[in-house]
Structure formats: C-alpha cells, structure tokens
Copies of this chain bind each other. A is one copy, B any other.
Amino acid sequence: VLNVEDLPKNLKMIIAYEGTAYSGFQIQKNGPTVQAELKAVIEHITGETVDLQGAGRTDAGVHARGQVVHFHTHSNLSVEKLKKALNSLLPADIVVRNICEVSMDFHARHSAVSKTYSYCLYNSEERPLFERNYVYHYKAVLNITKMKEAVPFLLGKKDFKSFQAKGSAVLTTIRVVNFCHLELKGSLIVFTINANGFLYHMVRNIIGTLILIGREKINPSEMEQIIMGKDRAMAGETAPAMGLCLEEVLY
C-alpha cells in the first residue's frame, strides 16, 4: 500500500533578498549565493537533499522582493512551520515571504509567464544614505519629462537585441513588454517593467539608454530607432546592478 505521506510535495516559495552580499542568485563555486544559502537551510530543516529551482538568475548585487523558487520534498512540516523555521535560520538579508503547495508539474522557471523588475535611480548631487545599497546614485541632472516620453516605445512584442549583453546565446531576442513606466518620488526615479522574459542585462541596458535621453544626449524618439537598429552599440551603457530589483514573477 502506498502511504500518502510517501508522495513528494511540490512547494512554491516567494522570497525577498538584498543582493549586496551575494555573487548573485544562482549557485556558483566562487562566492556566496542566495540559492546556496536557501538550499542549505531547507536541507538542514528537511534532512533531504533538494533540487531548488529559481524563476530567474539575478546578478551579483541585484535584489528581489518577489523571486520565486520551487522544490520537491517529502517533509511533513506544514507550510507555516516551514516558513517560520526557514526565517529563523536564514541570514537577515534573505526572507521567505510565502510558501504554498502547488501541483507537481509547477516549475518556478518554466511555468512563469512574465516577470516584473524595478530599477531605482537616486538622482541628486547628494549621496544616498539609508537607500545606498538599493539605488544607482546618478548625480547629473536628468530630464524626467524626456525620459517618460521614451518609455512607451518599449511596449509590445519587439526584438530587443539592442539591449542584450554581447556574447549572449539565446534562440530569439524577441520579447513582449506588457507594461513599463517611470515615476519620480523625491530624489528617486523608479522604472518598472513587466515582460514575458528578459534578455541578459536588458533592464540595465534600457536604463543606460534612458539616462542618455535624460541627459539630452539623444531624443526620446531615438528609443524606437535604437530598438529597430538591433545593435547593442546604439544603446546606452549597462547601469549598475544595485539599482535593480526582481519585484514579481507571474504564473
């Protein structure tokens, strides 16, 4: 007789982390990673070896408010108890926000339909203090109105090759941007973008291009030409990792 307790469960977790101290999300040989910390604590609690899958890699220094991971477990712990145990053992810069049981075929990466990222610029001559690890401090004056004018050109199904880091190997550079907007909150300029997928460094390269527009080096309408050019050299520099945050993964 097969005992129901013997069947594995698939657990989906929403996690948040400050990426400052990590060499990115994904496990690697050199340097601490969020995935390695999380996997170690889960294995300590469950006594099992788990295959922990994340919705997406985030680079060194990139943060998350809504990264999603999943893993299979035979553990009988309730999700409430597991969440408590995880949060009491995880370092202060990683937090489990939510755990729920999902069907066995749910996969944090493969099942994702879209992701939302934010990017924070701290646009002031003065150094940021309390926000210093979560923003890119950009001192020169930026024309927000012009930056806002450029944002809608990013919407829709397009080839975003111009914003892809050189040397990436993907089948297609076509992605669908479902929404994006730029908001001014005091000294903070917050850019939010949702797409069905992101090319490597795509958000950071879009920010570099929006900065060119904000500095009035190029016109807002050139955003469209840069996209159509499918040439990385036409777009702006890659903005630093610390301003980037994975906000949400949708399924």
Contact = CB atoms under 8 A, between A and B. Distances in A.
Contacts of A16: 129
B18 A129 contact: yes
A4 interface: no
Nearest to A15: B129
Interface residues of A, number: 16
A130 B18 contact: yes
Interface stretch (A44-52, A92-100, A189-197, A228-236): A92-100
B127 A87 contact: yes
Interface of A: 16-18, 63, 65, 87, 92-93, 95, 97, 126-127, 129-130, 132, 134
Nearest to A93: B129
A132 B97 contact: no
Closest CB pairs A-B (n = 9): A95-B129, A16-B129, A95-B127, A92-B132, A87-B127, A130-B134, A18-B129, A18-B130, A95-B126
